[in-house]
Structure 1
Amino acid sequence: MNSLGLNWFIEGSLDFEHKKYVLLNYLQEINRHFDKSKLYPNLTDLVFHYNNLLDFKQHKTTLQQAFPQRLTKADIEAVKLTYKKIVEDDSSMQEIERIITYALGKMDPAIQIGKEIYDFVESRLNIDPVGLVPLLPYSGYFSLRNGSGSTNWIYEYQLSIFENKDDKYRGINVQFVDTYEQSISNTPESIKLNLINQRRHLPNPAVFYVQSDISFPLEQTLLPVAKRSLVKYIMAA
């Protein structure tokens, strides 16, 4: 993917037309992927850069990396004071603000398209528990079926929950296990029994059957959305 550098908007020459070209070239590739319903890592990368621009615009705390030669002290208070001086005295900051404003205006519609694709994919997913679910279903397996195909991908998952002073975060780690062809005799229930017998480190795992009724790119779209949807499903249960 044609990616942007972390500080692309302040690195090198602060020429608006050049930065505009760099940005539009990046967004063109993002939209090409979105046109094929390929969400990741494109949407994650786009949201990261959007938030990075907002943070710089609102908090202006990345100066230490952006203009190290213009700092007099390395501590954070000195960074803030020095930045304030540059904002007031240096015309280059006006060009940076112009670049940021333009970039935010162009990135926002692309993010909205990505979110619409995500919401559509999520709406086509169905999640069902396979058999009884343990009281704490924070580790186990899920079987993922992509559209009308008979192939199922099995993943082991581990849910993690961590908090800071402001919020609670939920994450999920997955590891590919195997594939199987679903049939009358080869069902999610029979696969669950096989997993329990063959993988003894999870003697009483939670197992979920996740299916989309439309086919999507597996690695770039279906799997990432399925992971996030499974986290929401488990936490709401």
Structure 2
Amino acid sequence: MASLKQDWITEGWIDFEYKKYTLMAYLQGVKQNFKQSRLFPDLPSVEKHYEAALNLKDSKEQIVASFPKKLKGIDLKKKQFIYEKFQESEHLSEIDSILEYSLPLFQQTLTEGQSQYADIEAKLNFMPVGIIPLHLKEGYVFIYRGHNSETLIYQYQIRLVEHNNQSSVDTTLVDTVRKSFTTTFENLKLNLIHKRRELPNPATYLVESPTDYPVQETLLPIAKKWIVNFDKQHTIRQR
């Protein structure tokens, strides 16, 4: 996993060349992961870095605008005061250079990752297995890759994250089952109900992929998003 501190621009030695190579090393690692279809956690990380850089740029402009300005003269024709231009410190100038260099690169990498995410998502099938129960906050998700005879079975639970009022999905791998032509996903669900009595009527979903995409870094995060969206839509229909 590629990593970059959230405060990488202002932390430590503020030098354009140093920060440039720090960023290049990070993005090189991200793009290498993207080439291997490993989208998470790098894709949301790049998005956070891009938004943080934008916020820093806006904040810096507001700070500079708030500095007291020295009166230079008066423009009688325009009827306005003329102030000396604020002279930025060396550090602020370096941060300017870092932001101007990094923002387009973050945006480009983010666009590439989002495009790849959309391409992969379009190739997957997501469907409920069996009857949909009323309670969708917990259950199972099957991940089946067409070129792999194994079905990964995860137990999931949707929880509300209090600080941002968003839903998050916790998953635990509970079984790996070798699937044959005679074994249906409905049968796998029934076997789970018999073996794991704590969920007598579980919501169960299937994520089917034609390609062996990475599970932890791609398929499972996409599945979590679909589970949350399905739960939201189901809740709206019940109202």
CA spacing shift, 1:200–1:163, aligned 2, 3 Å:
same
1:123 and 1:187 map into 2 onto residues whose CA distance is 24
CA spacing shift, 1:234–1:212, aligned 2, 3 Å:
farther
User: Could you tell me which residue of structure 2 aligns to residue 38 of structure 1?
Assistant: 38
Q: Which runs of 4+ in 1 moved over 6 A?
A: 80-83
Indicate the SS of the match to 2:143. Answer: strand
Residue by residue over 1:122-169, the C-alpha shift from the partner in whole angstroms, topping out at 9 and shown as x without a partner, is 1111122111111121211011102332210001111234677xx852
TM-score by length of 1: 0.81
How many residue pairs match? The answer is 216
Q: Letter of the aligned partner of 1:153 in structure 2?
A: L
CA spacing shift, 1:12–1:85, aligned 2, 3 Å:
farther
User: Could you tell me which residue of structure 2 aligns to residue 128 of structure 1?
Assistant: 127
> What does residue range 78-97 of structure 1 map to in structure 2 within 5 Å?
90-97=89-96
2:156 and 2:167 map into 1 onto residues whose CA distance is 13
Indicate the SS of the match to 1:96. Answer: helix
2:67 and 2:48 map into 1 onto residues whose CA distance is 28
User: Could you tell me which residue of structure 1 aligns to residue 52 of structure 2?
Assistant: 52
| 1:15 maps to 2:12 | no
Q: Is the radius of gyration larger for structure 1 or structure 2? A: 2
Contact 1:126 1:211 in 2 (8 A): yes
Contact 2:2 2:42 in 1 (8 A): no
* Structure 1 unaligned regions, length at least 5: 61-79
2:22 and 2:161 map into 1 onto residues whose CA distance is 37
2:2 and 2:232 map into 1 onto residues whose CA distance is 36
2:63 and 2:35 map into 1 onto residues whose CA distance is 45
Contact 2:141 2:207 in 1 (8 A): yes
Q: Letter of the aligned partner of 2:211 in structure 1?
A: I
> What does residue range 1-237 of structure 1 map to in structure 2 within 5 Å?
1-59=1-59, 90-161=89-160, 169-237=166-234
**Structure 1 vs Structure 2: percent identity of aligned residues?**
36
Indicate the SS of the match to 1:58. Answer: helix
TM-score by length of 2: 0.80
1:114 and 1:83 map into 2 onto residues whose CA distance is 35
User: Could you tell me which residue of structure 2 aligns to residue 74 of structure 1?
Assistant: none
CA spacing shift, 1:45–1:205, aligned 2, 3 Å:
same
Once the two structures are TM-superposed, the CA of residue 81 in structure 1 deviates from its matched residue by 7.9
